[in-house]
Chains A and B, each alone.
Chain A
Amino acid sequence: MTPADARAGEALPAAARRAFPARSPFGAWLALLGRELRLALRHPADTLAAVMFFVLVAALFPFGVGPAPETLARLAPGALLAAALLAALLPLDRMFGADAEDGTLDQLLLSGLGPSAVAAAKAAAHWLTTGLPLLLATPVAAAMLNLPVEAWPAAMAALGLAAGFLSLLGTAGAALTLGARRGGVLLPLLVLPLAIPAVIFGAAGIEAAAAGLEARPYLLLLSALLAAALPLAPLAAGAALRTE
């Protein structure tokens, strides 16, 4: 039983208290995450659009810079990161918008989970339905950019971590721009500058792996970014949702 439950219980007559069985907050959070994933499964077009966007942007580079293999391989790390982050931005502007329009957001804010927990579930669902598919599509994009095969594992790790960082930042951005006119335009302007460190460390890691060096230090720095955003972004998003 959480302290909030206990306080709610004290204000109630004994009969009503018995009618309010304590539920595990984590179980409730998982139920919300499960519902988000089920919804994403019913609308697979959103996930597919992000993956196709990622692969197509990666496919544009050879046309733009010419098919010289060395030039492409030199560009590949940065291009992969930038394309993945742009693709992961696509579903963000509907993250809270759809829920706000159909009244679900009010119910979630009153669900007893707390706004930050709701935001954390949204971020986790975004990573699972966008970040993870992008990570799986990385070899396809990496092949088109002529990234050496030795660097593919590092590229997948860097993309997974960077997409997680963007899911968290993007959730805070989506909560902040909820209800703003042209929120869909505002959101990338707000989120992308903050994602620059992820691009730097992620691309450096992939580059190191391609050159036969250790990618681990860069991936650890990327993980540190993720670890910092993990508690902070849901708190910021929760505060933004509360004052909406």
Chain B
Amino acid sequence: MLEARDLACLRGERAVFAGLSFQLGAEGALLLVGANGAGKSTLLRLLAGLLRPAAGELLWDGEDALADRAAHAARLRYLSHQDALKPALTARENLLLFARLWGGDVDTALAALDLLPLAELPARVLSSGQKRRLALARLALAPAPLWLLDEPTVGLDAASVERLGLLLARHRAAGGMVLAATHLPLPLPGAGELRL
């Protein structure tokens, strides 16, 4: 279980958010909504352990989650705003490193996002929606209990959103949790909403 208590984050001298508390249990999903600049992406980076909170604490099963950042990193997948793809590598090669790190089969992950026909193309020639799908394919490699998704459906067509919905449903059915920042409707039935 993930629990945030009175989290606050400063950027420069300005408080992005403060006094933020929420809980998320197994199979839970939480949508982060709010205007541009409300701190949705900052909160996700903080939850991933890439930023330190200025105040408050983040608990995983009742223990400080950020005390051991390597252990925290091992239990999450973070999909950032950027797709983290190397233009010179093919779609398959882009996934290969993460398959070696986390386990999982590259072909299965590519198939989950219908990317097999594009597997041997360099990422440089993919469209922005296809790049987003390739970034999402990292989620399909190996299970991790916590998914942090920053605008996962930007640039996706309806069929791809449906495929992402399948992935999300499978992840939650296995006890996984999802936190997603979004402006668009996401296929996450029963998700709570956190307004920043």
- Residues in chain A within 8 A of chain B (CB atoms): 4-5, 7-8, 11-13, 15-16, 19-21, 23, 27-28, 31-32, 35, 38-39, 42-43, 101-104, 106-107, 109-114
Contact = CB atoms under 8 A, between A and B. Distances in A.
A42 B124 CA distance: 12
Given A16-B143, A31-B100, A5 B175 contact: no
B89 A32 contact: no
Interface of B: 45, 48-50, 60-61, 63, 68, 70-71, 73-76, 78, 80-86, 88-89, 93, 96-98, 100-103, 138, 142-145, 174-175
Given A11-B60, A13-B175, A23-B101, A107 B84 contact: yes
Given A13-B175, A21-B103, A31-B101, A103 B70 contact: no
Contact of A103 (B83, B97, B144): B83
15 contacts: A8-B75, A11-B75, A13-B175, A16-B143, A16-B175, A20-B103, A32-B97, A38-B93, A39-B86, A42-B88, A104-B84, A111-B73, A111-B98, A111-B101, A112-B101
Majority DSSP secondary structure for residues of A touching B: helix
B71 A110 contact: no
Nearest to A111: B101
Contacts of B93: 35, 38
Q: For the complex of A and B, list the 8 residue pairs with the smallest distance between their C-beta atoms, beginning with the closest.
A: A103-B82, A31-B100, A103-B84, A42-B88, A8-B74, A4-B70, A110-B73, A8-B71
Contacts of B145: 12, 16
A112 B98 contact: no
Nearest to B86: A39
